[in-house]
Amino acid sequence: MKVLLIEDDVETARHIVNGLAEQGSTVHHAKKGGDGLLLALGRNYDILIVDRMLPELDGLSIVRSIRSAGIKTPVIFLTTMDGIEDRVGGLQAGGDDYLVKPFAYSELLARLHALARRPPLADDDTMLEVADLKVNLVRRQATRRGQRIDLQPREFRLLECLMRNEGRVVTKTMLLEQVWDFHFDPKTNVVETNISRLRAKVDKPFGIQLIHTVRGAGYSLHADS
């Protein structure tokens, strides 16, 4: 994965660069907005990580510029500003995701993977399939080994989200955002509770586990290999 990081805070940047390098990604780092924009325009990256508050040129302007230049590389905004209008503003400027500092590295990584490998036109799929688990998105039905699984609508949405990210880690926060449209951190175990109910219906009767807990990061749906 080729990543461009535009971030002026040295500590945060080192944290991200080291982490991504360990995963085998190539990371270019720009400290200033202007340099970042030049790199983003000049080379091909799989994903851009852009801090919103930057010297010279702020993150929003950078993303607007590259979007108007026709570059469709996915963008994750980083910010210390914890606010709904910031998130909305970032998405309107052409960002694809948004992460508030301080964030767990696993959270960033999960989102990077989700964005960088987002399959094109994923929304048009009508059937999702992982091992013997099949989900019909049109009829809102799930079957495993041909056996119909009776799911609540929220359980179905949860399963759909996990299946679209097959093999990748989906964090608690991502699930809250994508399944319930929650942009805050609940104090209770909304995600855990619903995951365990989903497991009870999807995994337990069939013996083979598809929904895995990734320690300190989130959940991942995949066939054991």
Binding mask 41-80 for another protein (x = CB under 8 A): ----------------------------------------
Binding residue for another protein, selected from 22, 150, 181, 224, defined by CB under 8 A: 181
Helix, strand, or coil here: 223? coil
Tell me how far apart the alpha carbons of residues 204 and 209 are, in angstroms, rounded to a whole number. 7
What is the rounded CA–CA span in Å between residue 138 and residue 125? 9
Minimum gap (Å) between residue 27 Cβ and another protein: 24
Which secondary-structure segment (H or E) carries 177? helix 172-180
How many chain residues interact with another protein (CB under 8 A)? 25
Residue number, 167 or 186, with CB nearest to another protein:
186
Checking 149-157 for CB contacts under 8 A at 24+ apart, the result is: 149/201, 149/202, 150/201, 151/198, 151/201, 152/197, 154/179, 154/180, 154/194, 155/194, 155/197, 155/198, 155/201
- 212, with CB counted inside 10 A (0-12, 13-18, 19+), is middle
Closest to 219 (Cα-Cα) out of 185, 190, 201, 192: 192
Site string for another protein, 107-126 (x = CB under 8 A): --------------------
- Using CB under 8 A, which of 85, 123, 124, 150 touches another protein? 85
Q: Does residue 22 interact with another protein by CB under 8 A?
A: no
For residues 124 to 163, the per-residue mask of contacts with another protein, x marking binding by CB under 8 A and - elsewhere, is -----------------------------xx---------
Cα separation, 50 vs 63, whole angstroms: 8
Among 8-16, 32-40, 140-148, 183-191, which window interacts with another protein (CB under 8 A)?
183-191
With binding defined as CB under 8 A, does residue 216 bind another protein? yes
Q: Given the rule CB under 8 A, which residues bind another protein?
A: 82-85, 88, 100, 102, 104, 153-154, 180-190, 193-194, 197, 216
